[in-house]
Structure 1
């Protein structure tokens, strides 16, 4: 019987999870792009500048989300960039992604950790609430996210966060993500206040020159050392 060679071939074709890298730098979030090939082209142009890529498409149905995220996975593996699913733990498991980002209504981080495993990257939105960040840390989150720090076209009615949240949450010793209206001009203040990752959608993908925009965000980290080793 030739079952074992066939199984071995299938396993070799399946991209394996990446080791969790230091979480610091540009955190790219995909735009709501219905054309999968165009999405791949847009991501491919800037992926080399990212520390993480989050797949997010609020306008897609389940089939399109699965198809797009599965198509992004080989790109991320080749670039050495972890791929995170927005909200959907089932999708992350189905395609073998590196983790999931959870909003306040997307499930308990501890339960999701039990499903995805000890090495999964699990991020939690904490909005403007330090208590949520403490609870996320206790539940095993890999990083905590605060925002919106500035007005955002993606979520114009989002709660507003203060720089004090970045400073005060240093006690949790988790990477901190800043999101919401971030531009290359205001990015350095966030990094100086403790942001380890800058989450960006339109600031890169809708820029006239997306690779140049991605480089500009990365530059915010060049003269600012992390507050603690990640």
Structure 2
């Protein structure tokens, strides 16, 4: 009974949060400084995006936690959710009560079982499952509250990523958790992904694939939100 209740809590939380446009922060570079990232996340929030993932590889942990703190405060103002990538589950206690909603894990990150054991049922645990339905099944058994498939299309962010097929979303209905599409997604491709069964579409370059410009990011964010909302009308 306790396990079933925990799973129901996980599913309700992820279903409420993991939907629509799922914006992933651009990697830090000479142009995309931490300040630029924060400014453009603020612009995307102004444009209507309500789900973000902070994905920054190879940062010093203290730097990353500082950035997360800034994004957390921003997202909280807009009642948006923030998912963390590459942040160990033991760090999550310091963000309790804010916008941070959970963690996203890839195959080289912390094990799903360990993260779920550490975090309990009040945090979302997402899992990258690439093009493998069996991996998604195992992830859900291990405690994942949503899964992501991709790359759906050729991706500039990960040019060597494996390609996933649309029929994965139909199969994933049996998993009972939200499913995210990622990789090479453009606004024009949103309808076919939502029709196939994706609950959320992850976007990096489609939103942040330009020089940092808050006004432009806000405008493009509005277009993404309208495209997703149009699929539910």
TM-score (norm 1): 0.83
Shift of 1:150: 0.6
Question: Counterparts of 2:82 and 2:90 in 1: how far apart (Å)?
Answer: 12
Does 2:220 align with 1:222?
Answer: no
Alignment partner, residue 5 of structure 2: none
Say which of 40, 43, 46 aligns to 1:42: 40
Question: Counterparts of 1:220 and 1:91 in 2: how far apart (Å)?
Answer: 37
Alignment partner, residue 175 of structure 1: 178
Alignment partner, residue 107 of structure 1: 110
Looking at secondary structure, tell me which structure has more helix per residue.
2
- Assess, with a 3 A threshold, how the Cα gap between structure 1 residues 225 and 138 changes in structure 2: closer, same or farther: farther
Conserved? CA contact 1:99–1:122, under 8 Å:
yes
Shift of 1:59: 4.7
Alignment partner, residue 10 of structure 2: none
Give the 5 Å matches for 1:14-163: 21-33=16-28, 35-48=33-46, 49-90=48-89, 92-93=91-92, 95-96=94-95, 97-163=100-166
Does 2:202 align with 1:199?
Answer: yes
Conserved? CA contact 1:184–1:213, under 8 Å:
no
- Structure 1: which 5+ runs fail to align? 1-18
Q: Deviations over 1:159-215 (max 9, x none)?
A: 100001111111111110000000101111111101111111111012572222222
Shift of 1:92: 4.7
Conserved? CA contact 2:17–2:81, under 8 Å:
no
Alignment partner, residue 13 of structure 1: none
Bigger shift: residues 166-175 or 29-38: 29-38
- For these two proteins, the number of residue pairs brought into alignment is 208
TM-score (norm 2): 0.82
Moved over 3 A (4+): 223-226
Bigger shift: residues 30-39 or 182-191: 30-39
Conserved? CA contact 1:92–1:98, under 8 Å:
no
- SS of the equivalent of 1:118 reads helix
Conserved? CA contact 2:185–2:201, under 8 Å:
yes
Shift of 1:225: 4.1
Q: Deviations over 1:138-171 (max 9, x none)?
A: 1121110000001111100001000011111111
Say which of 174, 195, 220 aligns to 1:213: 220
Root-mean-square deviation over aligned CA pairs: 2.0
- SS of the equivalent of 1:221 reads helix
Question: Counterparts of 1:92 and 1:191 in 2: how far apart (Å)?
Answer: 34
- Assess, with a 3 A threshold, how the Cα gap between structure 1 residues 188 and 169 changes in structure 2: closer, same or farther: same
Shift of 1:131: 0.2
- Structure 2: which 5+ runs fail to align? 1-12
